[in-house]
């Protein structure tokens, strides 16, 4: 992989995830993002949704960046148009002006400082190792189950892109602990890119634990599509803790419990994320994997 010459740091892709928006304002007052070996631009992705204090106005902006959707001019809602404008500004996807994107997000789930990688090539595997070495409480999540072309995330515009996903933070709130984690993780990522560019990377840990996305679970619904239950209290807040077949996973409003019937050791995350209620999603499940930095 060639050197990274241009980086975009994106905040406010979701208008009610405040940490990235406030960090952009803070960083614009300083040289905190600057590194010698590449240029950095900042993008405030969805100012209208932020102004309305909402995740999005018409559609989730962070689902509008598949190659097919970007090419489809009939998709013309506010966020669908905004996606095309951002793609013009820092893309276009497939031939982007920007080499690397850091997209800043918050979750209401208890995921701590999480780094979501869209690919598992050597660059990403090394990046995950570097972040874990410098920030031991960081969690590395792999969402490499689909190709970058197919990915509909904003960070898929560039050949390389990651999502910094920090929680727990309610929508429309700024928590200092969450802000500080996002600030710190972003700086480690930029440091890594600089060291990568200048061939100054010191030896990395040979391998580390990460969580590879596997599937998404829905909340229990009745035949009319109404929710009839909630995430079980023994699962709530236990993001990245193991879940086994037979463990309670939902409590129905009638008091009965639902047990998980999977055939693998699952690691729930995005547990009870507020923004996923639109789609009645309860959580994502991952499998634990060992990531090698040697090959």
Residues with a catalytic annotation lie at 165
What is the closest distance, in whole angstroms, from the C-beta atom of residue 266 to its own copies in the complex? 19
Nearer to its own copies, 66 or 108 (CB): 108
166 CA to centre of own chain? 8
Nearer to its own copies, 264 or 277 (CB): 277
Between CA 77 and CA 51 the distance in angstroms is: 17
Annotated binding site for Zn(2+): 14, 17, 105
Nearer to its own copies, 159 or 167 (CB): 167
What is the closest distance, in whole angstroms, from the C-beta atom of residue 232 to its own copies in the complex? 7
Nearer to its own copies, 207 or 236 (CB): 236
- DSSP-assigned beta bridge partners for residue 193: none
Cα separations (Å) of 22 from 49, 180, 196, 222? 15, 11, 28, 40
Between CA 240 and CA 286 the distance in angstroms is: 8
Under DSSP, is residue 270 helix (H, G, I), strand (E, B) or coil? coil
Helices (H), the chain: 18-27, 47-51, 67-71, 78-90, 122-134, 176-197
What is the closest distance, in whole angstroms, from the C-beta atom of residue 176 to its own copies in the complex? 4
Cβ neighbours of residue 250 under 8 Å, at least 6 residues apart? 219, 220, 229, 230, 231, 232, 257, 258, 282
Between CA 278 and CA 265 the distance in angstroms is: 27
Buried b (16+ CB within 10 A) or exposed e, 240-253: beebeeebebbbee
- DSSP-assigned beta bridge partners for residue 295: none
Nearer to its own copies, 77 or 120 (CB): 77
What is the closest distance, in whole angstroms, from the C-beta atom of residue 142 to its own copies in the complex? 26
What is the closest distance, in whole angstroms, from the C-beta atom of residue 136 to its own copies in the complex? 19
Annotated binding site: 14, 17, 105
What is the closest distance, in whole angstroms, from the C-beta atom of residue 131 to its own copies in the complex? 22
Under DSSP, is residue 127 helix (H, G, I), strand (E, B) or coil? helix
Cβ neighbours of residue 150 under 8 Å, at least 6 residues apart? 66, 67
Nearer to its own copies, 159 or 268 (CB): 268
Between CA 43 and CA 120 the distance in angstroms is: 25
Q: Name the residues that contact its own copies, by CB under 8 A.
A: 22, 25-26, 29, 53, 108, 168, 170-177, 179-180, 227, 230-233, 236, 251, 253-254, 272, 274, 277-278
């Amino acid at each position: 992989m060639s050197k990274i010459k241009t980086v975009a740091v994106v905040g406010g892709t979701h208008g009610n995830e405040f940490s990235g928006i406030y960090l952009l304002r803070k960083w614009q007052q300083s040289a905190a993002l600057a590194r010698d070996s590449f240029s950095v631009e900042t993008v405030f992705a969805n100012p209208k949704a932020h102004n309305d204090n909402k995740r999005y106005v018409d559609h989730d902006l962070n689902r509008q960046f598949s190659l097919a959707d970007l090419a489809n001019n009939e998709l013309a809602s506010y966020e669908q148009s905004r996606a095309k404008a951002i793609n013009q500004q820092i893309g276009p996807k497939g031939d982007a002006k920007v080499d690397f994107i850091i997209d800043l997000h918050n979750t209401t789930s208890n995921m701590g400082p999480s780094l979501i990688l869209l690919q598992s090539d050597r660059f990403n595997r090394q990046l995950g190792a570097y972040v874990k070495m410098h920030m031991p409480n960081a969690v590395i999540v792999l969402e490499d189950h689909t190709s970058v072309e197919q990915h509909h995330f904003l960070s898929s515009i560039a050949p390389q892109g990651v999502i910094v996903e920090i929680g727990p933070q309610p929508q429309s709130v700024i928590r200092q602990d969450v802000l500080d984690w996002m600030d710190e993780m972003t700086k480690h990522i930029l440091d890594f890119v600089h060291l990568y560019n200048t061939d100054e990377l010191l030896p990395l840990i040979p391998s580390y634990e990460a969580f590879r996305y596997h599937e998404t679970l829905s909340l229990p619904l009745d035949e009319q599509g109404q929710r009839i239950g909630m995430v079980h209290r023994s699962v709530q807040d236990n993001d990245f803790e193991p879940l086994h077949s037979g463990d309670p996973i939902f409590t129905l409003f009638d008091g009965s419990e639902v047990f998980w019937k999977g055939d693998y050791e699952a690691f729930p995350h995005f547990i009870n994320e507020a923004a996923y209620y639109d789609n009645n999603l309860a959580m994502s499940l991952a499998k634990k994997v060992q990531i090698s930095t040697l090959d």
